Structure 1
């Protein structure tokens, strides 16, 4: 780190140089300062190259570490998934889940059959009730029709009797 030493020496020259009154400026030996600046310029490229290499190396190492960390994380997750899948509790849970599903399917089938049987029973009862009510209605309608016919016959007979009497009376008037 020669550059730092040279910069410190240059700073010391500025601090110890004689000052021009009122202006705040200093007097320095041009050759000496120029020589130091030239040395700094000569050292800088090497120092910059080394610094650049250090930065690039740091970035490369960090990148590799991040990539390796990501790979290890994925592998760990995959391994955990496999362990979970192969664990006895998971296997038991799968078996229990299948049993629950089978039981639910059996219950659903029983409910469907029960509902179908119930609907069939209700419809059969309805059919029987409609038949019975229909028979009663037919009997009632027949009775009403017979009563109407008897009443109509009686009325027509009464009217015919009146007409016959009127005819006899008219024939008797001659």
Structure 2
């Protein structure tokens, strides 16, 4: 991939496709072209490979989401372990056993609530990133479609000009006979 990004690579491939058409031999009759099929199919395959950069970015976002979830679970486990240790210590102390049990239970619930909150925030962040990546991918596909349509229209216009020129030449030859 080029340093300028996937857009430039995609445009380079479209330019190579256009160059292939321009370099193709013309048939003497009908104005058709002989195009190297292998080169054409190779360029089409390369175009397909150039598009899914945003999908790779979406995968990275999903991996980052999983890392956030793993970190949240680890943090929750540490909080729970710390709460359990503190509860055990408080239970050992004679006068405040009941209070220690209640406090450790509250810490456990707080830790679970915090873990749920962290997981919910991670899910929301990942969903937002995934949505942005999907929108960016859709926009790039739309841009690529517009560009391809523009190139094909220019090509159609050039071909029509060639056909018009050939028709004029045929008419002139027929008139001279």
TM score, norm. by length of structure 1: 0.44
Query: Which of the two has higher C-alpha Rg?
Result: 1
More helix by share: 1
TM normalised by structure 2 equals: 0.43
